[in-house]
Amino acid sequence: MESLRIMDKPDNKTRKEQILMTTYRSSIGLSFVYPAIASILQVFMLIFCYTHAQLYGPYARRYSMFYITFLTASVIFIAVSLFVKKDIENRYKILHYANPVFAAYSFFWALLVTFSDFGITGVLDLVLFTTYSMIIPISLFLLPLVYALIISVADVVLLVFIIVNTEVGLPIINTIIFFIFQFILGISFIRLRIRLSEKMIEEKERIATELEFAAQIQTSILPSDFPPFPERSEFELFASMNAAKEVGGDFYDYYMIGDKTLGFLVADVSGKSIPGAMFMMRGKAVIKDLAETGMSPAEVFSAANNKLCEGNDTCLFITAWMGYLDIETGVVHAVNAGHNPPVLVRDGKAEYVDFEHGMMMAAMSGMTYKEHTLQLKKGDILYLYTDGVTEAIDPDEKQYGDDRLLELLSFGNVSPSPAGANGVAGAVCETVKSDIVRFVRGAEQFDDITMLCIRYLGVTESE
């Protein structure tokens, strides 16, 4: 019920959108009604030109061509509007170009008439030239509606004079014709701009909503309960993923394989946003399914590589580092598919565990991977991460770097005793994350930052 009450109270943004929608609906027929009116008026003026040719004298042909041109333009405008009636973007583009084009046409027509008349009569009609010249800057700045509203009252009065008085000057008649056409373009242009803005707002909100759902789905498939195995005293484990965009391409995972083996990995998908997130979910599921069959890490990566190559039309790939920890002996069987080497922290000294790299997964089928072993001692910390950590950039475009990470994780920078519910493993990840925030000094994050940390405690004597 609370949610219903909230929905009954629209915020300022909602009210603004409702006003825009009302404005759009109230002007829904203007694009067709006004050109129709203009066409009727131009037909009237064309007939008037032929039936009262004496008023035009030698210029009757010139003015009749002027009326025919604008009548043709009105008909074309109606036809094009009907043809792209439901295509807001194209109608907007048509009006965007039509308005200054017709303004320019009228401007040069005014130049021709003004100076040709001056050559014949010796009189320069500055009123005619100035009237048409005013339209150019207004049209180019896309404000024809403002101009049309200013002169709309005068138009009505002058149209009455045209009907009841045939002695009204021709410059005034032609000015009115063009004003009407400008008014049509102005109304239609503003209406479509409102509708296009609404459509863009709707599209952005739809995309934002979909990305939010995608982020929620992605977050839900990454294990997030820490400590993950509270009944296990042989190790501590903590992991986190901070996406650069709404959704990321990095992932981590961990699971018990039998009673004595902890499987864990960190991976980075080459793509970002929705494509990267979709491939990330596929990669995570494939690797976990294979690992739970009892395959070795090298066998898992070889089989996963072949599966991920199938149907990979987007040519994405995954770098990953995976290990199986024997929780009784501390032996880690590991495989590296083109990923950053993890950091081993032992007795306060940090160093990279740089095994031989294999090919990243999903790049080429038929690859085999070499397995390596690492012996962990009690108290050792193994820190896995993606390149978003070491390649974080500050405002001066300097990278965080491998050396800074080693220095941070060395002697005394991370408390050797459990810190909080997530223990030292959680403290390590929080320490690195905080140091990255200090380093970048507010610079935008351009890559996902993912990390997984294990602190090996071994089997106690009572066990």
Q: Which pLDDT belongs to residue 9?
A: 42
Is residue 7 in some structural domain?
Answer: yes
Is residue 217 in some structural domain?
Answer: no
- SS3 for 258? coil
User: What distance, in Å, lies between the first and last C-alpha atoms of the chain?
Assistant: 54
Cα 376 to Cα 297: distance, rounded to the nearest angstrom: 17
Q: Say if residue 387 is in the same domain as residue 449.
A: yes
Q: Say if residue 95 is in the same domain as residue 184.
A: yes
Handedness of CA 291, 296, 301, 303 (dihedral sign): negative
**137: Cβ–Cβ under 8 A, 6 or more apart, which residues?**
none
Q: Which pLDDT belongs to residue 403?
A: 94
Cα 29 to Cα 312: distance, rounded to the nearest angstrom: 49
Is residue 202 in some structural domain?
Answer: yes
Instruction: Tell me the whole-structure pTM to 2 decimals.
Output: 0.61
Cα 210 to Cα 136: distance, rounded to the nearest angstrom: 44
Is residue 219 in some structural domain?
Answer: no
Is residue 446 in some structural domain?
Answer: yes
Cα 414 to Cα 429: distance, rounded to the nearest angstrom: 10
Is residue 440 in some structural domain?
Answer: yes
pLDDT tens for each residue of 182-196: 555 555 555 555 665
Cα 373 to Cα 448: distance, rounded to the nearest angstrom: 28
Is residue 63 in some structural domain?
Answer: yes
Q: Say if residue 111 is in the same domain as residue 202.
A: yes
Q: Say if residue 12 is in the same domain as residue 60.
A: yes
Q: Say if residue 108 is in the same domain as residue 251.
A: no
Q: Say if residue 76 is in the same domain as residue 195.
A: yes
Q: Say if residue 410 is in the same domain as residue 311.
A: yes
Of 175, 208, 241, the one marking the end of a domain is 208
241: CATH: 3.60.40.10
Q: Say if residue 113 is in the same domain as residue 234.
A: no
Q: Which pLDDT belongs to residue 169?
A: 54
Of 176, 208, 240, the one marking the end of a domain is 208
Buried b (16+ CB within 10 A) or exposed e, 344-374: bbeeeebeebebebbbbbbbeeebebebbeb
Q: Say if residue 194 is in the same domain as residue 46.
A: yes
Q: Say if residue 200 is in the same domain as residue 230.
A: no
Q: What is the number of structural domains in the chain? A: 2
- Give the residues of the chain that fall short of pLDDT 50: 1-10, 19-28, 136-155, 157-158, 162, 166, 168, 416-418
Residue 98's domain comprises 2-208
Q: Say if residue 95 is in the same domain as residue 124.
A: yes
pLDDT tens for each residue of 331-341: 999 999 999 99
pLDDT tens for each residue of 152-176: 444 454 455 545 554 545 555 555 5
Is residue 174 in some structural domain?
Answer: yes
Q: Say if residue 200 is in the same domain as residue 308.
A: no
Strands (E), 297-448: 318-326, 331-337, 343-346, 349-352, 372-375, 381-385
Of 159, 175, 208, the one marking the end of a domain is 208
CB 361 within 8 A of CB 283: yes
